[in-house]
Amino acid sequence: MKKRVDNSTTTNTTSAVSRRKFLGGAAAGTAAAASLAFPAIAKAQTQTNFRFQSTWPTVDIFHEFALDFAKKINDMTGGELRIEVLPAGAVVPAFGLLDAVSKGTLDGGHGVLGYNYGKQNALALFSSGPAFGMDANQILAWHKYGGGKELLAKLYESIGGNVVSFLSGPMPTQPFGWFKNPITKPEDLKGLKFRTNGLAIDLFTEMGAAVNALPGGEIVPALDRGLLDGAEFNNASSDRALGFTDVSKVCMLQSFHQSSETFEIIFNKDKYNALPTQLKAIIDNAVEASSADMSWKAVDRYSQDYIRLKEDGVRFYKTPDSILQQQLVVWDKIVAEKAKTNPLFDEIEKSQRAFAQRALSWDMDTNNNRRMAYNHYFGKKRAAG
């Protein structure tokens, strides 16, 4: 009798292996088929291009600040949002920026609130006057945490401004101005043809000057032609680049007319609102990054150009305390008059006052006297013995 061979184990094992190969092959085939049926689709990146204009000439460091801001946006978004910045006058005059952005002729711009003073004089409270003694960085603190941002949005809404506004870049105290001769007393301003902007127009007019508001690029030509007897713009770097030393060698330092000004970056509201949430967040953070960078660059560049101005033969004088005190007295009068007829002006002024009272009390009690330290290290040393 032939012995029966039991192939059941072999057959079962072979069947299991075959089945696994089949299922594995089927799975691979299915995956391949799926791959063919549903190919991987790369997410298309759309690029949004915004055309900005600054209110500054190309040579001014302020235009450089505007370019720095745009570069941060362009870099941080990886090109998804690209901002091109043109200089003042490329599309509209400097004082026409707000209207151009509001209408959508430009997508945005870089300037100062004082240039919009004619639209609503309360706008200039963000950039003109003594601000109760606050510096520009404290104004930015009030703007972000003390209600200023909401008040500014309310102001723009009241005049139909179709813009989204960001304040950035604290400026140091601006010089009283450039003159033919030093200004030694308040009476020296009587009849003086003088350039300034914002609420400083009202301040110097009340002090007796004949004021003319001009954008930065037009000031030196006006001084050269005798249309102005004196003028202020902003800082050592800007003033040197704009050519003030060609028409004057006298610069008066310190003033309350613009001791806390900041830059303003504006976007057309419709264009801004159409941006994805992520890009809006990048803009918000880029504004603050630019604000810090501007203030640091200003310390570096302004201090260098301050030395260069002295080498160019400029004589610097501290504005007499009698003039500074008179500025404060006149300012109080202007503010009281404007508040009577402009409720928003009154609301903003009171908000700033409340913030300044506590911020300055803390600041003055906390921070050191820098003059004492400077004199110790860099002042003239007395001979020993």
> How far apart are alpha carbons 271 and 160 in whole angstroms?
16
More confident residue, 240 or 217: 240
pLDDT classification of 29: cutoffs 50, 70, 90: very low
Calpha distance 209→197 (Å, rounded): 13
Average pLDDT of the chain is: 89
Q: Tell me the whole-structure pTM to 2 decimals.
A: 0.85
Q: 174 labelled as ligand-binding?
A: yes
Residue 31's pLDDT is what?
42
Mean pLDDT of 61-85: 97
Question: 53: annotated binding-site residue?
Answer: no
Task: Provide the 3-class DSSP secondary structure of residue 28.
Answer: helix
Residues 220, 228: Cα–Cα separation, whole Å: 9
Mean pLDDT of 30-44: 43
Is 315 a residue whose pLDDT tops 90? yes
Give residue 198's pLDDT. 86
Nearest alpha-carbon partner for 148 in 369, 300, 350: 350
Residue spans per domain, the chain: 48-174+258-313
| 126 marked ligand binding residue | no
Identify the DSSP state of 258.
Answer: B
- Written as six digits, the tokens of 293 are 């960078």
pLDDT tens-digit series, residues 227-277: 999 999 999 999 999 999 999 999 999 999 999 999 999 999 999 999 999
| CATH placement of domain 48-174+258-313 | 3.40.190.170
370 annotated as a binding-site residue: no
74 CB burial (10 A radius; 0-12, 13-18, 19+): middle
Cβ–Cβ under 8 Å, residues 360 and 164: no
Q: Is residue 232 a known part of a binding site?
A: yes
**Looking at the predicted structure, is the pLDDT value of residue 34 above 90?**
no
| pLDDT tier, 116 (very low <50, low <70, confident <90, very high otherwise) | very high
How many CB atoms are located within 10 Å of the residue 328 CB?
14
**Strands, E, within 161-245: which ranges?**
163-170, 177-179, 193-195, 210-212, 230-231
- Give which of 111, 61, 77, 319 is closest to 204, Cα–Cα: 319
Q: What angle do CA 87, 88, 91 make, to 5 degrees?
A: 90
pLDDT over 60 at 188, yes or no: yes
Euclidean distance between CA atoms 236 and 251, whole angstroms:
10
Comparing 270 with 26, the larger pLDDT belongs to: 270
- Enter the tokens of residue 241: 């680049």
**Average of pLDDT values for 182-199?**
94
